[in-house]
Chains A and B, each alone.
Chain A
Amino acid sequence: MNIFIAVILGSLFGFIMHKAGATNPQIIINMLRLKNLHLMKAILLGIGISNLALFLLLATGVVDPLHVSVKSSYVGVIIGGVLLGIGWAISGFCPGTGVIAIGSGRKDALPFILGGLVGAFIYMLVYEKLVGSILLDKLGGKTTLAVTGNENFPALFPDVPGIVVAGIIAIVFIIIAWMLPEGDNA
C-alpha cells in the first residue's frame, strides 16, 4: 500500500515541479541571478500555503503530529546549504529537480545525477571523520518556531498556539510572494 502511495505522490510531485518550471536550469539560474522571480514567487506562495494548511490540519486533529518530522539544526546545516547553493547555481539543478529532469528528457540531468552519486559517496566515506567535529555541533537541535504537538520537537514559542505562529509566518510569505516583481525573461 505504501509503495502504491509512493508512486502516486512521487509522480504528482515530479509533475507539479516540472509544470512550475523548477526542472528548467534556465529558470533556476535566472531566479538566482534575481532576473526572473516567477519561480521564487511560486516557492514562497507554496511554503506559505503549506504552512497554513499543515498547522490547520494539526490543530483540527486531521493530521497526526507523529507525521511531523523535523530535521536537526547544527553548524553543517548552514555550511551544507552554502555548498549546495554553489552546486545549484553552477548547474541550475538541485537534487530533486535533477531527478525529475531525467524524466522530462533533459540531456544535462544525467551528469548531474552521476555527480550527485559521487558527492553522496564522498560524504559516506568522510562522515566518520566528521563525527565529533564542529560541523556536526548542535545549533538549536530539532526546534520549530510553531508548536506542532509532537513532543520530540520543542518550539521556540511554546506558549502561543502553533496555528497562530504558523499563520503569521504564512501570511508574511504570501504577502512577499505577491509583492515581489516577476521580472523579465533576460
Chain B
Amino acid sequence: MKKLLFQKQWGWRTSGIGLGIIFVLAVAIIKPIGVSTQFVILDGAIWNIFSNEIIVENSDTKSGYSSPNAYLNKSGGKYAKNAANLFNYSFIFVVAMVLGGFIANRLTPTKGGNEDLFAPPVWRNQFGASPFKRYFAVFLGGILALIGARLAGGCTSGHMMSGMMQTSLSGYLFAAGAFAAAVPVAILMYRKGK
C-alpha cells in the first residue's frame, strides 16, 4: 500500500488495474466518467456572469432552464442547468481531479529538472527551451482538442475509456480517429526524439 502511494510512477500492470477499477467504480456507483462536457459548462457559467440572458429559468423545458445558445439549450437545457448550478456531480468530479493530481504529486514531488514542467524533453529537443513557444503550441492544441471532443461528443475519458468499457461502437470509432491522426502527427512533429 505504502509503495503504491509513494512510487513515482506505477508499472503498466498496476496502472492498468487502477484505471480498470476507477472506470468500473464510477459507472457502478453513479455513471461513466467524462470530462470534456465540463469545459462547456464552465464556459456557460462564465458567459452567465457577463450576460443576464444566456441562461434563463424556463418551466417549459425538461431541466427547468433554457438558453438562446443552441448548444447550451440542447437536450432540454441540460447544459444550461448545470452551468447555472456548478455544484453538481459531473462538474465537481472534474474539479476533484485537480485535487487528485495535487495529492499524487505532493507524495512524490518532482525533484530538480524543473524545466520539464514547462516543456517535456521531447519538445525542447525539437523546438528549443522557450516556454512561450511551448505555451502557444499547447494553447492551440487545447483549442483543437476541445473542438474535436465536443464535435465527437466526448474525449479520451468519455469515448475511449468509458465507451470501450461498455463496448460502445462510438468509443471504437473515436479511438480509431484519434490514433489515426495523433500517431502520424507525433511522429512527424517530434522527429528528433528523446
Contact partners of B185 in chain A: CB under 8 A: 32, 85-86, 89-90
Residue of B nearest to A145 (CB): B167
Does A53 make an interface contact (CB < 8 A)?
Answer: yes
Count contacts on A: residues with CB < 8 A to the other chain.
Answer: 124
B15 touches A115 (CB 8 A): no
Does A158 make an interface contact (CB < 8 A)?
Answer: no
B→A interface (CB under 8 Å)? 4, 7, 9-10, 12-33, 35-36, 39-40, 42-44, 46, 69-72, 74, 87-90, 92-105, 110, 116-123, 131, 134-171, 173-183, 185-187, 189-190, 193-194
A-B contact pairs, 24 of them (CB 8 A): A3-B89, A9-B29, A13-B26, A14-B98, A20-B15, A38-B12, A47-B164, A49-B24, A50-B21, A51-B167, A54-B165, A73-B169, A83-B145, A87-B141, A89-B182, A96-B156, A97-B156, A101-B101, A105-B117, A119-B143, A120-B39, A120-B43, A122-B147, A125-B69
Q: Could you tell me the distance in whole angstroms from the C-beta of B193 to the nearest C-beta in chain A?
A: 6
- Max chain A Cβ within 10 angstroms of own Cβ: one of B22, B97, B180: B97
Contact partners of B72 in chain A: CB under 8 A: 124
- Max chain A Cβ within 10 angstroms of own Cβ: one of B9, B116, B186: B186
A95 touches B155 (CB 8 A): yes
| Extra 19 A-B pairs, beta carbons < 8 Å, given A47-B160, A139-B173 | A10-B96, A18-B105, A20-B9, A46-B16, A46-B18, A46-B161, A50-B19, A50-B165, A54-B166, A67-B31, A70-B170, A82-B177, A88-B178, A99-B97, A99-B98, A104-B101, A122-B147, A123-B150, A124-B43
B39 touches A68 (CB 8 A): no
Task: List residues of A (2-61) whose CB comes within 8 Å of B's CBs.
Answer: 2-3, 5-21, 23-26, 29-30, 32-35, 38-39, 41-51, 53-55, 57
Does A63 make an interface contact (CB < 8 A)?
Answer: yes
B12 touches A32 (CB 8 A): no
- Max chain B Cβ within 10 angstroms of own Cβ: one of A26, A99, A105: A99
A→B interface (CB under 8 Å)? 2-3, 5-21, 23-26, 29-30, 32-35, 38-39, 41-51, 53-55, 57, 62-63, 67-74, 76-108, 111-125, 127-128, 130-131, 135, 139-140, 142-146, 148, 156, 165-166, 169, 177, 182, 186
Contact partners of B28 in chain A: CB under 8 A: 54, 57, 62-63, 67
Contact partners of A105 in chain B: CB under 8 A: 102, 105, 110, 117
Contacts A41-B16, A77-B173, A81-B152 given; does A100 touch B39 at CB 8 Å: no
- Interchain CB contact (< 8 A) of A81 among B15, B93, B181: B181
Contacts A77-B170, A87-B143, A105-B117 given; does A82 touch B16 at CB 8 Å: no
- Interchain CB contact (< 8 A) of B139 among A8, A79, A114, A177: A114
Q: Could you tell me the distance in whole angstroms from the C-beta of B130 to the nearest C-beta in chain A?
A: 12
